[in-house]
A and B are shown apart, each in its own frame.
Chain A
Amino acid sequence: MKIKSSLKPLPKSMRERKRYILFKTSFIKSKKDLFDLIQFRFLNEFDSIGLAKSDLRLIFLNKEFGLLRVNFAWIDKTKKLLSELNIGYEFISLHGTIKSAKKGF
């Protein structure tokens, strides 16, 4: 008997509520480096469980802007933590979708 190797998507009601933080940055290294930096800081501050719950993902980074996905309940903590990093962070706007966030830059 062959077993399907695909998963059903999670029902909408069970998915995490996420938001997208659009920010300005002067960080010149790669996207991976910035994400590692943010993750490392999160781990130090909120431990593994905090990093897991915040559901962080750096969606986009260029020389000027960055777009970070974060769990709805972790927006404030993330904003505070980003401002403490030495990356020239400047908050621009908060969005519900990537599409709307892209309009900001």
Chain B
Amino acid sequence: MMIDLVLFDDLQLLQKKAIELNINCFIIAKEFSSLNELNELNKRINEMDFDFKTCFLLSEVNYKKLNLFKDKVDFIAVQGGSIELNKFAVQRKEVNLLLNPVTEFFPSIDTAIARESKEKNTPMCFSANYFNSLSKLKKAYFFKNALIAVKLINKFKGKALFFSCARKEKELIKLNDFAKEFIQLGFSENQINFFVNEFPYEFFSIPLIPSEKECFELLNEFNVPENILNHSKKVAEVSLFIGKKLKLKGIKVNLSLLNASALLHDIAKHSTLQSEEKRHSIAGAELLEKKGFKQIAELISEHGTDEILKENPFSCIESKILFYADKRVKSDKIVSLKERFDYLFKRYGSISKEVLETLEKCYPKVLDLEKELIEKNKINLSDLNEN
């Protein structure tokens, strides 16, 4: 899965294309003329079931606009290409990205820019859209300047990013193919892999989330039985239902993170039932952390029933939703909390008195969570049951 930056905001289309292009987050970069325009986009993003981020794109040295948008958007990018803009981008703390540092006309990058780009953590981004718009001869001139940029990035151990920077559907591309062109310019294959597949997640602090298809492949890989699979699917359904409702109330919920965590939350249940070495939530979290899905691992480690007794049991809203949804699904049926806990008391309470006591302590806390999540936000539970 990858992250791409685009210059248009047809959210429906982008969401559709995301699966095909293996992208799990789009950064919408625009030179917003006013805050209203940004707010409108944010509103539309809130209605979507996909992870979109906003980015203010500056194509001139303009401190006023920079200050106006600096806390309002997720990222700020500067459209480089000239010495002045490149220097401006790497000198300002507020700027996160330097787009197209070199053009076919001029290298416009020197040791000072490369050093500051590394120090201020402003990666240089290469745009496929710009690259593909060049003729063969101009491409050669671009390569000539890019050779210098790559040399400087390597010398100062800087970072690069590759985006499509598409302005329309046709310009959306597979980022891997574009990035591979830069191997000829001096980046190693490992570097390209890192810049495309790992660094964006680290840089944008976006959780690495497997697609639904990848989730099912993982469940298959770990031989999760049919009954657990059905339970997980139902928990995912309930989680998404609550997540979408909360999103409509203006609460920021990452639905793809929620969906993937819900599908994978019991990935280790079957194996731990057999070995009884570890709790299934911990074993599942460890397993997914090894696969690189840190955020999902964190959510899964927090879904054990007695986790709610801890002081700060949940790291994020998605964790709360997953915990609650899991407590509302018995096998593959949506039930009330009372019915679910009655079942838990019966099944696990018979193991020991301590377990029963712990479960009894958990129940009122889960009811409080229900109040906080469902009743406070006026989510209609009958809709949930009908689903």
| A residues whose Cβ falls under 8 Å from a Cβ of B | 1, 3-11, 14, 39, 43, 47-49, 51-53, 55
Contacts and interface: CB of A to CB of B under 8 A. Distances in A.
Contact of A43 (B63, B88, B140, B151): B140
A5 B86 CA distance: 10
Contacts of A47: 136
B61 to A, nearest CB: 7
Contacts of B61: 3
B110 A7 contact: yes
B140 A5 contact: no
A3 B91 CA distance: 10
| Most chain B Cβ neighbours within 10 Å, of A9, A10, A43, A48 | A48
Given A7-B107, A8-B110, A52-B140, A14 B155 contact: yes
B112 A8 contact: yes
A43 B111 contact: no
A10 B84 contact: no
B134 to A, nearest CB: 8
Contact of A52 (B109, B147, B151): B147
Secondary structure type dominating chain B contacts: helix
Given A3-B61, A3-B87, A5-B84, A10 B111 contact: yes
| Most chain B Cβ neighbours within 10 Å, of A1, A14, A52 | A52
A52 B143 contact: yes
5 contacts: A8-B112, A11-B111, A49-B184, A52-B143, A53-B147
B187 interface: no
Nearest to B108: A7
B141 A52 contact: yes
A18 B111 CA distance: 21
A48 B136 contact: yes
A33 B332 CA distance: 76
